[in-house]
Amino acid sequence: MKKNFRKIPAEIVAKLKTIKTSDVVAGCAVMFRANILAAGQLKHLGIMLTNDGLKVPESVIPTASQGKFSRKNVEGLVIIRKDLPKETYYRSVEAPNWGNYGTHTVDLPNEKYPRDFDPPRELAISVKCKNTEPGLPGYVIAFKVNEVLEKTSKQFNKRLFENLNLLQENVGACGIELADTALSDYMKSLHVSWQLLPPGSREDVVARIFPDRSPTAEEKEVAGLRYDFFMSLKPKKLVFGSSGFRRYFGALLEDNLVVFENIQYGNAVYILFDNWKELSKRSRIDLISHRYGTDFERVIHKTGWKGQVRAIVAAKRDGEGT
């Protein structure tokens, strides 16, 4: 099975020319033999053949382990700008205190090329199968990336290329189809529905993050650890957000200081300094794509990340108090 394409396949380019409407989606239908499904070939998408028939989720965000396009979809991509001169950056680490217990934060200078951040799209793949009854020799399953692409857009070729590869990595096939849903309906799913609530117990918070299902052991552990960390920042309120299958969790520390992350697919904490009322009107793409100026910080989950977040928060709070 071909894992990725280096360019948009010729047959898809040819099909595009026959489509007169402006909106298309990356999608395809594939026939899978029953023994292939029973062996778990599509298990990563939550598709499994059991004695009761084929189990198919309505929609799923592919995991980063499926390939570079799946990884970019949930983690984003850091682009090193070697065409620009190096800049001085400071990395915060926790260093032990001399002579007693505890640690303190140290900022270490480092010269490196500027970075641009292409934010994660967090696109889901919709899945449909008309006949899921048990005992069939094969099953026809339809897949569609949940993003309507406008052929007149400057980003069309880039988005189409990425979405085709997202399908290819996860399904082993790809194609394009007419968009049967208005673009405005898809845009609604980009906006996060936020809730600000007083801090509760660890158990209550984990339950609120996953209101429609029981979390996996890993999700429960991560949510609990994030709760402990956010509570250590002494928040005014806790922040809960949802957008489709995505779950966001964080803390409102001050009226213009918010920390949060995607609890299921996050590899970084986002710290935003905007006015909260304006922030809540933005789409999730806007929330994570604003890297210029002083309105936004992104801290990757690497060694010392908690100390770095604490340093940014402390600096912001000190600045507000002066």
Position 291 scores a pLDDT of: 43
Q: Tokens in use for 306?
A: 């908690």
Q: Of 42, 15, 38, nearest to 169 (Cα)?
A: 42
Strands 59-60 and 125-128: antiparallel
| CA 251 from centroid of its chain's CA atoms | 19
Let me know: does 219 contact 206? Beta carbons within 8 Å.
no
Position 3 scores a pLDDT of: 83
C-beta neighbour count of 317 within 10 angstroms: 14
Mean pLDDT, to the nearest integer, of 191-209? 82
Q: How many percent of the chain have pLDDT more than 70?
A: 84
Position 256 scores a pLDDT of: 83
Alpha-carbon distance 294 to 85, whole Å?
A: 21
DSSP E strands, the chain? 23-33, 48-50, 53-55, 59-60, 77-80, 87-96, 103-112, 115-118, 125-128, 138-145, 149-150, 176-178, 193-197, 237-243, 246-254, 257-262, 268-272, 296-300
Confidence of residue 265 (pLDDT cuts 50, 70, 90): low
What residue segments make up the domains of the chain, in order of their start? 10-76+119-188, 77-118, 193-321
Position 82 scores a pLDDT of: 92
b/e string for 116-155 if b means 16 or more Cβ within 10 A? Answer: ebebbbbbbbbbebeebeeeeeebebebbbbbbbeeeeee
pLDDT above 70 for 28: yes
| CA 104 from centroid of its chain's CA atoms | 32
Mean pLDDT, to the nearest integer, of 57-81? 90
Confidence of residue 280 (pLDDT cuts 50, 70, 90): low
Mean pLDDT lowest among 1-5, 47-51, 251-255, 307-311:
1-5
Could you read off the pLDDT of 157-183 as tens digits, one per residue? 999 999 999 999 999 999 998 876 554
Let me know: does 12 contact 167? Beta carbons within 8 Å.
no
Position 71 scores a pLDDT of: 92
Position 40 scores a pLDDT of: 93
Position 121 scores a pLDDT of: 85
pLDDT above 80 for 13: yes
Q: Please tell me the number of Cα atoms within 13 Å of 233 on its side-chain side.
A: 30
pLDDT above 50 for 208: yes
Confidence of residue 293 (pLDDT cuts 50, 70, 90): very low
Residues 6+ apart with CB under 8 A from 230: 238, 249, 250, 251, 259
Confidence of residue 292 (pLDDT cuts 50, 70, 90): very low
- Residue 247, classified by CB atoms within 10 Å of its CB into exposed (0-12), middle (13-18) or buried (19+), is buried
Could you read off the pLDDT of 227-262 as tens digits, one per residue? 999 999 999 999 888 765 567 888 999 888 889 887
More confident residue, 239 or 194: 239
Distances (CA, A) of 132 to 55, 136, 219: 7, 8, 29
Mean pLDDT lowest among 36-50, 122-136, 233-247:
233-247
Angle at 280 between CA 162 and CA 297, to 5 degrees: 65
Position 183 scores a pLDDT of: 47
What is the overall mean pLDDT for the chain?
Answer: 83
Could you read off the pLDDT of 82-127 as tens digits, one per residue? 999 998 877 777 778 877 777 878 888 888 898 888 888 889 999 9
Mean pLDDT lowest among 54-68, 228-242, 278-292:
278-292
Mean pLDDT, to the nearest integer, of 35-52? 93
